[in-house]
Amino acid sequence: MALVKAAHRIGFKFVSNENKILTVEYQDTSKRFELLKLIEFDSERKRMSVVLRAEQSILVFTKGADTSI
C-alpha cells in the first residue's frame, strides 16, 4: 500500500482495470497497459509479480521481501 500511496502523491492516478487493460494517468496523459500475467504473493516466494505489455515493451514489476529479491 505504501507504494500505491507514494505513486499517488507524485501524480500517478489509477483509472481503471477493464478486461485486463489497466489505465493510468500521469501529467495529463493517459497510458494503457495490458495485464499479461499476475503471479500472486505466496509464503514460499515472498513476493508478487505482474507482467504488463506497454505499447512495444514488456514490463515486469516485482514487490516483496528484501531478503528474497
Is 69 inside a domain boundary?
no
HSE, side-chain direction, 13 A CA sphere, residue 51: 5
Q: Is position 7 within any domain?
A: yes
User: Does any domain span residue 41?
Assistant: yes
pTM across the whole model: 0.75
**What are the pLDDT digits (tens) for 14-63?**
899 999 999 999 999 999 999 999 999 888 888 899 999 999 999 998 88
Tell me the pLDDT band of 67, cut-offs 50, 70 and 90.
confident
DSSP string, 47-69: EEEEEEEETTEEEEEEEE-GGG-
Range of the domain at 17: 2-63
Q: How far apart are the first and last CA of the chain?
A: 18
pLDDT of residue 4 exceeding 80, the answer is no
